[in-house]
């Protein structure tokens, strides 16, 4: 029996995607081998790769003047690769700090440049997004970096910063990419590890505007040089073929769901169900994030009586609800309700939460 899996990442994949992968695992398209066992340069895999990129571009409506790269190295890898590729000879970059992942990006960027924190929500334990009029941007910054969904703190941007000084906006969208339509044209670069809302780990997607290419630091490893990877259709070295294939199946699944507007409608309904359950618990459960910044993908919550935490986790698991333990940085619980999580799964979770409260409140 498949569990209702609320893991933050690697996270649940659509069952239909796994079933299709299972059905064609041993003999992919009459080749007599699995998709993992063939050359990445052969015609069969090339078609898998090109179709995955096409579907991704179509889903997110990526403008023609942007490259899409399917790379490796994860979100954390990008914390280094963004400065290496995008500093373009400059010595400073701007960062907005909204939680654990933007803090990580700032720390890593500090190896390569002056990573200036131009706004931070650490004054309120990272429970909100600082409004843009509170930012202190630097005109000479090479780029301005935000994390549009903080996976640990459960804080999401529902607005796109306006940039009026030619400093390109860079976004870590690892945990909410493809959860709703996004205006890619507002960004210079977007990156995301795949293992939250796309597919298995091992694949990292980078979207980068073409005019920003061509200036990587000379010590950038070639396989992590956006320009070289773009020139080689991201096949400068062997891409993570199985992860690309599975991501491609997920893109088809998303298209069959009706695309990103349709999935957004579902994600709104799921998030509302869960936040309503928390808010209507009379304080038994609580979420501390400013209402307008509550993430639709990652919902951290705390029990009023923390001595019940172990029991909550134990009994939820027994009820087939997995992956609810909060990140160790903030404790408590967290339910990640990515695209692959059904409304029914969130119903099962909220029903369990109400029953748990009745028995222990
Ligand atoms: C998970 C995550 C990362 C780190 O991803 P890795 O692939 O483990 O390096 C970075 N940023 C965000 C927003 C994340 O959710």
First to last CA, the chain: 30
Q: Which of 67, 196, 270, 325 is labelled catalytic?
A: 196
Q: How confident is the model over 91-104, as pLDDT tens digits?
A: 999 999 999 999 99
- Position 165 scores a pLDDT of 83
Q: Compute the distance from residue 152 Cα to the ligand 1 centre, in Å.
A: 10
Among the listed residues 314, 310, 305, 309, the one whose alpha carbon sits nearest the alpha carbon of residue 284: 305
- Structural domains in the chain, sorted by start: 16-256 (3.40.640.10), 259-360 (3.90.1150.10)
Question: Is 75 in contact with 193 (CB distance < 8 Å)?
Answer: yes
Q: Compute the distance from residue 108 Cα to the ligand 1 centre, in Å.
A: 13
Q: Which of 55, 67, 94, 172 is labelled catalytic?
A: 172
- Position 361 scores a pLDDT of 87
Taking the chain (361 residues) in runs of 10, the rounded mean pLDDT of each run is 96 98 98 98 98 98 98 98 98 98 98 98 98 97 98 98 92 98 98 97 98 98 98 98 98 98 98 98 98 98 98 98 97 98 98 98 87
Question: Is 207 in contact with 234 (CB distance < 8 Å)?
Answer: no
311 lines ligand 1 (CB under 6 A): no
Q: Which of 101, 234, 253, 325 is labelled catalytic?
A: 101
Q: Compute the distance from residue 101 Cα to the ligand 1 centre, in Å.
A: 7
What torsion, rounded to 10 degrees, do the Cα atoms 84, 226, 210, 142 define? -10
Distance CA 327, CA 299 (A): 11
C-alpha gyration radius of the chain: 21
Among the listed residues 300, 258, 255, the one whose alpha carbon sits nearest the alpha carbon of residue 54: 255
Give yes or no: 276 in active site. Answer: no
Give yes or no: 183 in active site. Answer: no
């Amino acid at each position: 029996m498949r569990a209702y899996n609320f893991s933050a990442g690697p996270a649940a994949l659509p069952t239909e995607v796994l079933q299709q992968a299972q059905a064609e695992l041993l003999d992919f398209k009459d080749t007599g081998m699995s998709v993992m066992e063939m050359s990445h340069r052969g015609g069969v895999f090339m078609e898998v790769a090109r179709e995955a990129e096409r579907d991704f571009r179509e889903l997110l409506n990526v403008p023609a003047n942007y490259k899409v790269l399917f790379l490796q190295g994860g979100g954390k890898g990008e914390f280094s690769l963004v400065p290496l590729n995008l500093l373009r000879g400059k010595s400073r970059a701007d960062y907005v700090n909204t939680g654990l992942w933007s803090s990580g990006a700032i720390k890593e960027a500090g190896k390569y440049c002056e990573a200036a924190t131009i706004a931070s929500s650490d004054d309120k334990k990272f429970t909100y997004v600082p409004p843009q009029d509170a930012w202190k941007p630097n005109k000479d910054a090479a780029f301005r970096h935000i994390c549009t969904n903080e996976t640990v703190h459960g804080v999401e941007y529902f607005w796109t910063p306006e940039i009026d000084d030619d400093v390109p906006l860079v976004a870590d969208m690892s945990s909410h990419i493809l959860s709703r339509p996004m205006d890619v044209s507002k960004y210079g670069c977007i990156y995301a590890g795949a293992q939250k809302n796309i597919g298995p780990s091992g694949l990292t997607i980078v979207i980068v505007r073409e005019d920003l290419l061509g200036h990587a630091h000379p010590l950038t490893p070639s396989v992590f040089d956006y320009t070289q990877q773009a020139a080689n259709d991201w096949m400068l070295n062997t891409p993570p073929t199985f992860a690309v294939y599975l991501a491609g199946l997920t893109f088809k699944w998303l298209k069959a769901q009706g695309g990103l507007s349709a999935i957004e409608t579902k994600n709104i309904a799921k998030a509302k169900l869960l936040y309503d359950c928390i808010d209507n618990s009379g304080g038994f459960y609580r979420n501390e994030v400013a209402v307008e910044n509550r993430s639709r993908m990652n919902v951290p919550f705390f029990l009023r009586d923390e001595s019940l935490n172990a029991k909550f986790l134990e009994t939820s698991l027994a009820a087939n609800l997995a992956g609810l333990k909060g990140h160790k940085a903030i404790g408590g619980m967290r339910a990640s309700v990515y695209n692959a999580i059904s409304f029914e799964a969130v119903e099962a979770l909220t029903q369990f939460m109400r029953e748990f409260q009745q028995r222990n409140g």
